[in-house]
Amino acid sequence: MIADGFMDGPSLAPNVSALRPLFDMMDDGYLVCEGIASPIYANASALALVPDDSDPLQALLALLPADACGLARRHGRWGGDLNFDDGRILQVRLYFRADDGRGYSLVTFRDVSDGYVRQKELERRNSQLRQTLASLAGTQEQLLRSGKMASIGQLAAGVAHEINNPIGYVHSNLGSLQEYLHSLFQMIEVYERALRSSEPAAMLPEIEDMRQRCDFEFISVDLPQLMAESREGIERVTQIVRNLKEFSYSDREQSWRSSDLHAGLESTINIVWNELKYKVVLERRFGQLPLVQCRLSELNQVFMNMLLNASQAIEERGTIIVSTGVQGEEAWVEFEDTGSGMPEDVQQNIFDPFFTTKPVGSGTGLGLSISYGIVKNHNGRIEVRSTPGKGSCFRISLPIHQPGLREQQD
Ligand SMILES: Nc1ncnc2c1ncn2[C@@H]1O[C@H](COP(=O)(O)OP(=O)(O)OP(=O)(O)O)[C@@H](O)[C@H]1O
Ligand SMILES: [Mg+2]
């Protein structure tokens, strides 16, 4: 079944039989045909593909799909893959040349199962990585929310205190007002009696006595004051509630908006004020800022972390300076404190999740890593300068315009 001399070039022809052992050493299978469908030779690797067949050359040719020969006849070549039930994959090429006469064709078989398996494995790992990435993103989102919840939890006591104070004195003022009203009604009643009496002048001593007992002079001064103070208290509560709403405004639709960073800073300062006011002098050095495309509620969380860290770094009394400005296409916000500062080895780690130098139970170590994530998501950056014993300065730079962002409308 093996035809010698299939390459009938003048110098090759006598040596073709001698070349067979060489062809048999090759890993790839070869099938040679006269014309395109009359097989005349196959090497050992090709024959190994059809071990039990009584006519192995025809069997090899039969492995090709029906249209392969027609396509090779037309285009000179055909290529494709053969998938076997046992998972093997063969890459097959069919070359055809008919210069004059019937011509010859050559079919090559290359086992690519390994590469294929490797590729499949890579694809599987890739999709696994993709899933892990998606679930990490979900976890990060959750961390972000739980970090936010934890800080809000921490602050809730402070905010409650802030609200309780004005509510307390409004309540006590209402008690005084009730007494004053009682006295005033008593006086009106005496005046009414005097008006109706035939001799009102005779009642003057009684009226005077009543004014004394009610301390009318005092009421006339104190009552407007109480009213003003109560109004102020209610306004303070309204303000705190408004700040809380602004601060925690949930970006459920993940909306980016052109926002006033100063407004964000003010509402955040109000929220954390109770934590700061006893030991910190807060100085604002606000520059001119344009509206910045951002998710303000997320940035508020960053501002809160910065303010809390600065205040926690101050042992007894100190200053926090909050400055803002614009440099090139970026807006920046800086938090400078006169606190403990950080040695170099602490500075190296502060953005790592769960890194904290605070006592167990008082810091989760998530503040800065969450802040870092938020700022990075805004295509911005956080820079730190710190001198142990002197204080620290955190600068947040944010692009004023987010590249490629179409803003959501309300
Ligand atoms: N302004 C600062 N001055 C000195 N050290 C700071 C300052 N800001 C951060 N650090 C250091 O960085 C660490 C990490 O800060 P981060 O805000 O991530 O966590 P934390 O404040 O310890 O805990 P959490 O914010 O979760 O309550 C702090 O423990 C502290 O050592
Ligand atoms: Mg912190």
The string of pLDDT tens digits covering residues 300-335 is 889 999 999 999 999 999 999 999 999 999 999 999
Q: Is 390 in the pocket of ligand 1 (CB under 6 A)?
A: no
Residues 264-278, mean pLDDT to the nearest whole number: 89
pLDDT given for residue 4 in this prediction: 46
Q: Is 313 in the pocket of ligand 1 (CB under 6 A)?
A: yes
CB 90 within 8 A of CB 34: no
Q: Quote the CA–CA distance of 266 and 272 in Å, as a whole number.
A: 10
Q: Residue 335 CA: which ligand 1 atom is closest?
A: 1
CB 280 within 8 A of CB 320: yes
pLDDT-derived band at 7 (thresholds 50, 70, 90) equals: very low
Q: Is 382 in the pocket of ligand 1 (CB under 6 A)?
A: no
Q: Is 154 in the pocket of ligand 1 (CB under 6 A)?
A: no
Q: Residue 370 CA: which ligand 1 atom is closest?
A: 18
Q: Is 268 in the pocket of ligand 1 (CB under 6 A)?
A: no
Q: Is 342 in the pocket of ligand 1 (CB under 6 A)?
A: yes
Q: Which of 374, 342, 370, 338 lies closest to 357, judged by CA? A: 342
Q: Quote the CA–CA distance of 402 and 55 in Å, as a whole number.
A: 70
Pick from 108-117, 132-141, 396-405 the range whose average pLDDT is largest: 396-405
Contacts of 98 (CB under 8 A, 6+ apart): 35, 104
Ligand 1, atom 19, lies closest to the CA of 365
Q: Is 305 in the pocket of ligand 1 (CB under 6 A)?
A: yes
Q: Quote the CA–CA distance of 109 and 104 in Å, as a whole number.
A: 17
Q: Residue 310 CA: which ligand 1 atom is closest?
A: 1
Q: How are beta strands 318-327 and 280-285 bridged, if at all?
A: parallel
Pocket test of ligand 1: the residue of 356, 371, 382, 395 to mutate, having most ligand atoms within 8 Å of its CB, is 356
pLDDT given for residue 157 in this prediction: 65
Geometric angle at alpha carbon 320, from 315 and 321, rounded to 5°: 160
pLDDT given for residue 119 in this prediction: 79
Q: Cα of 368 to ligand 2 centre, how many Å?
A: 6
pLDDT given for residue 10 in this prediction: 47
Is 359 or 344 the better-scoring residue by pLDDT?
344
Is 138 or 57 the better-scoring residue by pLDDT?
57
pLDDT given for residue 367 in this prediction: 85
Predicted TM-score (pTM) of this structure? 0.56
DSSP letter (8 states) at residue 406: P
Mean pLDDT over the full length of the chain: 86
pLDDT given for residue 298 in this prediction: 87
Ligand 1, atom 9, lies closest to the CA of 309
pLDDT-derived band at 93 (thresholds 50, 70, 90) equals: very high
Helix (H, G, I), strand (E, B) or coil at 11: coil
Q: Cα of 312 to ligand 2 centre, how many Å?
A: 8
- Locate tokens 């503040």: which residue? 367
Q: Quote the CA–CA distance of 317 and 311 in Å, as a whole number.
A: 9
Alpha helix (H) ranges present in 3-112?
A: 16-24, 44-47, 56-62, 68-75
